[in-house]
């Protein structure tokens, strides 16, 4: 939607007045003063008028998706691989993923068109615990689990304290691990720091929002309580 219409439909002012505000440099998109009067607002854009964020007229929607392996967590892919958007077949508004799961990782991904919520959850200051179940190629010891809990060096960075529970201790071990940060391939790199390769990785929760019994490739609307929780966590 064109920016002046977007501002007008949020009830801020008329379209003509919105054009004036843009010309006066009083409108920002994603933190930068808007230079382009004909700008087309994208899902996830954060629009400010005189410093105040405005909500667009588009209905805000929130989904939990169970991402299968073999999908990229972007809205388009330069190598033409399937994206998580390809799975949101019945959703008629433009949504985008909050945060990222690797191509081969499965599990809970929040999909929304609410840019403010996405920024809120992914902000580095947020300490929302994300929980994963990992199958790793070897027998993990209690001492190694303790090292993961305390923090390991994943290449010049020591991870924050994590919650770690060994579910199965065998030649292929299963571990539940909760981390409060989201560095690139963090869980895989944490296990790699101890010499393990992750064979299977699934995200099972983000804070209080659970994957539950959602089948791979399926999605559901978040409940009002889940949305409230995410907005306030």
Question: Considering the rule CB under 6 A, would residue 205 count as an interface residue with ligand URA?
Answer: no
Comparing CA positions, the residue from 201, 217, 227 lying closest to residue 130 is: 201
Instruction: Name the segment binding ligand URA (CB under 6 A); options: 13-21, 89-97, 138-146, 181-189.
Output: 181-189
Shortest reach from residue 233's CB to ligand URA, in Å:
18
Among 87, 101, 110, 136, binds ligand URA (CB under 6 A): 101
Question: Considering the rule CB under 6 A, would residue 216 count as an interface residue with ligand URA?
Answer: no
Cβ closer to ligand URA: 7 or 108?
108
Cβ closer to ligand URA: 10 or 199?
199
Terminal-to-terminal C-alpha distance of the chain: 30
Cβ closer to ligand URA: 39 or 191?
191
Instruction: Name the segment binding ligand URA (CB under 6 A); options: 29-37, 45-53, 139-147, 179-187.
Output: 179-187
Cβ closer to ligand URA: 97 or 115?
97
Tokens of 66: 């169970």
Comparing CA positions, the residue from 170, 165, 160 lying closest to residue 128 is: 160
Which residues 6+ apart lie within 8 Å of 3 measured at CB? 18, 22, 27, 29, 34, 36, 37, 38, 39, 40, 41, 47
Question: Considering the rule CB under 6 A, would residue 187 count as an interface residue with ligand URA?
Answer: yes
Shortest reach from residue 167's CB to ligand URA, in Å:
17
Question: Considering the rule CB under 6 A, would residue 105 count as an interface residue with ligand URA?
Answer: yes
Question: Considering the rule CB under 6 A, would residue 186 count as an interface residue with ligand URA?
Answer: yes
Question: Considering the rule CB under 6 A, would residue 131 count as an interface residue with ligand URA?
Answer: no
The question of whether 137 is a catalytic residue gets the answer no
Question: Considering the rule CB under 6 A, would residue 188 count as an interface residue with ligand URA?
Answer: yes
- The residues carrying an active-site annotation are 102
């Amino acid at each position: 939607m064109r920016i002046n219409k977007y501002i007008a439909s949020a009830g801020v002012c008329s379209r003509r007045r919105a054009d004036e505000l843009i010309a006066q440099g009083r409108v920002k998109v994603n933190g930068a003063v808007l230079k382009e009067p004909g700008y087309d607002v994208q899902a996830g854009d954060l629009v400010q008028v005189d410093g105040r964020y405005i909500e667009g007229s588009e209905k805000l929607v929130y989904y939990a998706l169970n991402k299968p392996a073999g999908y990229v967590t972007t809205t388009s892919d330069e190598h033409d691989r399937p994206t998580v958007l390809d799975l949101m077949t019945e959703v008629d508004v433009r949504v985008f993923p909050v945060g990222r799961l690797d191509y081969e990782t499965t599990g809970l991904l929040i999909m929304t068109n609410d840019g403010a919520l996405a920024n809120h959850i992914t902000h580095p200051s947020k300490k929302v615990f994300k929980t994963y179940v990992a199958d790793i190629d070897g027998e993990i010891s209690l001492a190694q689990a303790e090292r993961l809990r305390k923090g390991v060096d994943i290449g010049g960075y020591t991870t924050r304290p994590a919650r770690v529970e060994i579910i199965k201790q065998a030649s292929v071990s299963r571990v539940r691990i909760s981390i409060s940060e989201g560095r690139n391939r963090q869980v895989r790199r944490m296990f790699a720091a101890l010499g393990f390769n992750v064979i299977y990785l699934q995200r099972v929760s983000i804070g209080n929002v659970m994957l539950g019994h959602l089948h791979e490739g399926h999605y559901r609307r978040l409940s009002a309580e889940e949305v409230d929780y995410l907005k306030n966590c």
